[in-house]
Every structure is written in structure tokens, then in C-alpha cells.
Homo-oligomer: A and B are copies of this chain.
Amino acid sequence: MRVRDDTKINTIFEATTALTSEVGLNRLTMSSIAQRAKMACGTLYIYFDSKERLLNELYMHLFVGSTLSILPSIGHLPLKKQLSIIWSKVLWFRVTNSSEVIFMHQFRYSVYASEETHKLDDQFVGFIKNLLGQGKEELIIKNIDSDLIIPLFYGYANNLARQMAMDEVEITDEIIDQTFHLCWDAIKS
């Protein structure tokens, strides 16, 4: 029997990511994905119930791999260090995986994004909120509603990465340092 091949899911994910960054989510069709992944159109439906599920699972896969997975391991570090690591991690991922970021960006606010997917984001935001809460208690960072701070990190990271991807700028440790300093200066008390 032809055994179910889990690397196929990765092939599909890669094809989807690449295509989205090339032609955009609007022109992304199931048959173009299949063609790019060198498989039949129907094969996609063996691994994913629908286009919507495929995109959502891809998003979750990328989000977990790029962001969520680092959170638990850094809980013991000092606040600024934690933020700095997250910033670095997120930025590295975003800049070195520009196709993935384009996909995530386009998907994020599309009609395809499900409840379930939005909750992932909330999980991440919740973690950061906690961190900021601590910082405020320790009087390290400004006493401002976290909902006004998080969009700075989030929006900045997204936009910076997107811009760098488009301009084909190489990311360096210096850039990460400089940009993190901007953020830190913004919020430190």
C-alpha cells in the first residue's frame, strides 16, 4: 500500500507559502497549489478538508513554529532579556522567512481566518501582557495600558519585516539591537 506520507503536508505548506507570496491570497487556487506541489488536485483533500482548513493549519503551524514555541523556555529570565529574545526571535523569523510572513500577513485578516486561529494570537498577546504587567509592578516600564503598548511591538515587527523583505535588506544583529532599543526606550519608565 502507498503509505500516507507526512512529508507531503510540508510539501503542500511550502507550495502554498511560496505561491501566496508570489501571486497573493486572492489568486491562490487549490489547483495551483497542487501543481506547485506536484500532486493531483484531489490529493490536497486527503490531507485537508477544505481550502479554509489548509490555510488555517498552515497559519497555525507557522505561528507556533515562529513564536509560540519559544515562550515557555524563557520564563526565568529578567524582563528586558525576555522581551529582547522574543523580539530577536520574531524578527529573525520574519525576515528570513519572507514568504511565510507574507502569507501570515495576508491570511491574518482574510475571510479564511477562523476563530481558532485568532485565539492563537490572543495566547501570544496574553503572554506579552503578563510580561508588561510585571514590568509595570517593578516600575521598570511605563505605567500605560498594555493594550496601547502591544500594538507598538506587534505593528512594528510586522511592518519592519515586511519592508525589509520587500527591499531585500539583510538582517543583522546590529539591526535587531537598534530596533529593540527603539522599542525599549519607548516603554521603559
Contact = CB atoms under 8 A, between A and B. Distances in A.
B160 A152 contact: yes
Contacts of A11: none
Given A24-B110, A26-B110, A147 B159 contact: no
A152 B151 contact: no
A151 B147 contact: no
A155 B105 CA distance: 12
B105 A152 contact: no
Interface in A147-171: 147-152, 154-160, 162-163, 167, 169
A23 interface: yes
Given A147-B167, A149-B182, A155-B158, 11 more contacts: A24-B109, A148-B175, A148-B179, A151-B159, A152-B156, A152-B159, A152-B182, A154-B159, A155-B159, A182-B187, A185-B187
Interface of A: 23-27, 102, 105-106, 109-112, 142, 144-145, 147-152, 154-160, 162-163, 167, 169, 175, 178-179, 182-183, 185-188
What 5 pairs across the A-B complex have the smallest Cβ distances?
A: A155-B159, A155-B155, A186-B186, A151-B159, A24-B111
